[in-house]
Amino acid sequence: MEQNRPGLTSIATLWIMAYVFGYARVSTTDQDAQLQHDALTAAGCYRIFTDTASGALQSRPELTKLLDQLRPGDTLVVWRLDRLGRSIRHLIDQLSDLQDRGIEFRSLQENIDTTTSGGRLVFHIFASLAEFERDLITERTNAGLAAARARGRVGGRPPKLTEDQITTAKKLYDQQDMTVAQIGEVLGVSRSTIYRALRRDTHLTRPQ
């Protein structure tokens, strides 16, 4: 039976009665989350939420429940950073959301704790790297589109995507920082056009 958070009557009480929650994830049903559970319990977690799913999957019901239950002053603890984020960009987005909500974060293996100045510094470094990565993706995409336009095509009905654009779409998809719909917006075509191009020789394993 799941325990409910005790009732809180004021903002002052909310901060005083802060809780430490743990989140664990294993990739398949064959893996055992006990190692993560033991570490999270030793870290003082009041309650642990566990998902069994690939990190690439957006649907993680236990994480969704945990994020809904967190309140300002609480702390979210994970055994390792990759348990929480699907990619650097996704991880930074998750941590930024926690920070905006007044929720602290700890990662045991990387020894990151946002309640400390050192932990906050590491977080800001990650955020800068993610922004740098996003800028590189944009630059590569624009360069690929410019090259495709410069080369052009002669004769027949042109396809909606050039080979260069298809290559760019696959790279963006593999990096897992953008949905298929977002890739379509970047390349100026519909989601279904991107989907058909990727299906030619790519096994799609994540939500679109």
Q: Are 22 and 47 contacting, i.e. CB atoms less than 8 angstroms apart?
A: yes
The active-site residue out of 27, 87, 107, 117 is 27
Is 87 known to be catalytic? no
Amino acid making up residue 193: T
Q: Are 56 and 206 contacting, i.e. CB atoms less than 8 angstroms apart?
A: yes
Q: Are 106 and 120 contacting, i.e. CB atoms less than 8 angstroms apart?
A: no
Structure tokens of 86? 């699907």
How far apart, in whole angstroms, are the C-alpha atoms of residue 129 and residue 32? 32
Beta strands in the chain (DSSP E): 20-26, 47-52, 75-78, 104-107, 112-113
First to last CA, the chain: 35
Q: Are 56 and 16 contacting, i.e. CB atoms less than 8 angstroms apart?
A: no
- Give every strand in the sheet of 112-113, ordered side by side: 47-52, 20-26, 75-78, 104-107, 112-113
How far apart, in whole angstroms, are the C-alpha atoms of residue 19 and residue 7? 13
Structure tokens of 24? 């664990």
Catalytic residue annotation: 27
